[in-house]
Amino acid sequence: PPNLDWAFVDRLKKSTKMKLVLKGLETREDAKLALDHGVDGILVSNHGGRSTDTLRPTIEALPEVVDAVRGRIPVFVDGGVRRGTDAFKALALGATAVGIGRPMLWGMGAFGQAGVDRVLEILQGELKLAMGNCGTRTVADIDRSYVELPDWRTVRYS
């Protein structure tokens, strides 16, 4: 909606004592503006690709947002996490945490609560395996040295 601008963020921030986390930021410029406007966290998201169809995925937007924020506020990522290795890559690129909504919905749709529990077990197991293969004992040990970043300026999207 057109009324959701930075002035709206300022009004929202002033109207509550709760933490304000903005979802849908994908650029360093927006991350810097979020800091300027006192946002407490950023959720890097392309809304399942539905809002920004054919543009870059969240895993590619994440590094520039993390670099812009420089640890001053948490940066979460939402979208594209289907396996434990996806979570590992997002954490390596600086995400504070990752959202796993779609796999949870698949599990719930197929088997209810048991399906959700199983999805969590699978993702945790895959993450632990990736961590073990990379020699990281804790999540805090995961860093960018475990992923190679392409020059995004040369990537072409169709």
Catalytic site residue from 19, 32, 47, 128 = 47
**Is 37 annotated as catalytic?**
no
C-alpha–C-alpha distance, residues 111 and 107, integer Å: 6
Give the 3-state DSSP-derived string for 4-32, with helices as H, strands as E and coil as C: CCHHHHHHHHHCCCCCCEEEEECCHHHHH
The token pair that represents 102 in the structure block: 């779609």
- Do residues 6 and 39 make contact, with C-beta atoms less than 8 angstroms apart? no
Give the residue numbers marked as catalytic.
47
